[in-house]
């Protein structure tokens, strides 16, 4: 039986998602990493957290990786609000970098400095760019 992460055992759609993730990493994340400082909008994750978020704060904007993990029962809420205090008061439009297909929603409240992310499926994840 192949390993869970083995690329050769993925379906066509899964391989496309992996290729898209690698492209987003190379084009958007890798260039920003060297000048970024990490932050955890929800705090450091615990083993059983439904939502996990990691941010990279850079001079030109921030990236957030957000994961919704499955829970017993209904899977919890499809939405999470992430405090991004360093961008409070800044008018911007969040841009979902990954996955590119529909199903991920992101909204910004400049007054509160919060990013709301909706991931309808669990498990799922996304990468969002916040750029003034």
Contact 129, 61 (CB under 8 A): yes
Handedness of CA 105, 129, 100, 73 (dihedral sign): negative
User: Taking the complete model, does pTM exceed 0.75, yes or no?
Assistant: yes
Per-domain boundaries in the chain: 7-130
Question: How does residue 14 score in pLDDT terms, banded at 50, 70 and 90?
Answer: confident
pLDDT of residue 103: 84
d(CA 124, CA 102): 13
Tens digits of residue pLDDT in 92-123: 999 999 998 878 999 999 999 999 999 998 89
CATH of 7-130, one of 2.30.110.10, 3.10.450.50, 3.40.1170.20, 2.60.40.1180: 2.60.40.1180
């Amino acid at each position: 039986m192949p390993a869970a992460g083995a690329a050769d055992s993925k379906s066509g759609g899964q391989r496309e998602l992996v290729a898209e993730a690698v492209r987003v990493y190379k084009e958007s994340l890798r260039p920003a990493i060297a000048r970024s400082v990490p932050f955890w909008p929800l705090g450091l994750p615990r083993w059983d957290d439904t939502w996990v978020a990691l941010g990279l704060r850079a001079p030109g904007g921030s990236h957030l990786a957000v994961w919704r993990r499955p829970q017993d029962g209904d899977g919890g809420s499809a939405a999470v609000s992430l405090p991004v205090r360093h961008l409070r008061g800044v008018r911007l439009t969040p841009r979902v970098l990954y996955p590119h297909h529909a199903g991920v929603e992101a909204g910004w409240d400049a007054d509160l400095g919060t990013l709301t992310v909706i991931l309808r499926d669990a498990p799922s994840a996304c990468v969002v760019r916040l750029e003034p």
